[in-house]
A = this chain, B = another copy of it.
Amino acid sequence: MAPEAPVLLAAVSLLSAFHMGYLARRVGWSRMAHKIMPPAVSGPPEFERTFRAHQNCVEFYPLFLVTLWTCGIFFNEAAAAGTGLLYMVARQIYFNGYIKSTRKRLPGFYLTLAALFTLSLLALTGVAARILDQYFHMNGGGLQSLLCCPVRPDSAGPGLTHPVFSSWIKCLGIKGHSKTLQRFSKDQLRWL
């Protein structure tokens, strides 16, 4: 067992796999409630919406895993894990909304996209800085100053002091706890 394995990313991935299993179960319950025997996938509007909600989650799941892990390994593990949890909450809101009506899927879907966009942007920054550093012997200074944070592998990492992430924290109304989170983040960086 590798001692430096990113356990937070693994925990979030495992949790999201359980969540996906639960959503698949929800489709099964909907089949039972509406008496839709497999392999049929059409039926009353409510069943079709439940089925499509799950399909949409399935389609995006590998994208979520790829952005979660690249963000966690090349940018910051705690930031990736936190945004990953947000993604799961967003998917649940989306799923519950979609079952009620097609229009009500939208708030959850926008939150899903926001979480995916955050993960993608942070992952892109981390990967680009590393490529500049490794293959072009630049220290990724341009990218760093652009995002006002240290992204070099040998530095302490951007942590939760990063403007993108701290604005998320504000957005989520957990600003009061951000100091605890920052300490947590700096503490865990020792194992990265």
Residues of A near any B CB (own CB < 8 A): 1-5, 7-8, 10-11, 13-14, 16-18, 20-21, 24, 37-41, 45, 48-49, 51-54, 58-63, 65-67, 69-70, 73-74, 98, 102, 105, 116, 120, 123-124, 126-127, 130-131, 134-135, 153, 157, 184, 187-188, 191-192
Contacts and interface: CB of A to CB of B under 8 A. Distances in A.
B13 A74 contact: no
Nearest to A48: B39
A33 B21 CA distance: 33
Q: How many copies does the complex hold?
A: 3
Given A38-B102, A65-B66, A102-B39, A120 B74 contact: no
Contacts of A116: 21
Contact of A10 (B21, B60, B74): B74
A74 B191 contact: no
A45 B69 CA distance: 38
Contacts of A126: 1
Given A39-B102, A41-B52, A66-B16, A7 B130 contact: yes
6 contacts: A1-B157, A5-B130, A10-B69, A14-B67, A14-B70, A41-B52
B14 A123 contact: yes
A1 B192 contact: yes
B4 A2 contact: yes
Contacts of A10: 69-70, 73-74, 123, 127
A52 B38 contact: yes
Nearest to A128: B11
6 A-B pairs with least C-beta separation: A39-B52, A17-B66, A17-B63, A39-B48, A7-B130, A10-B70
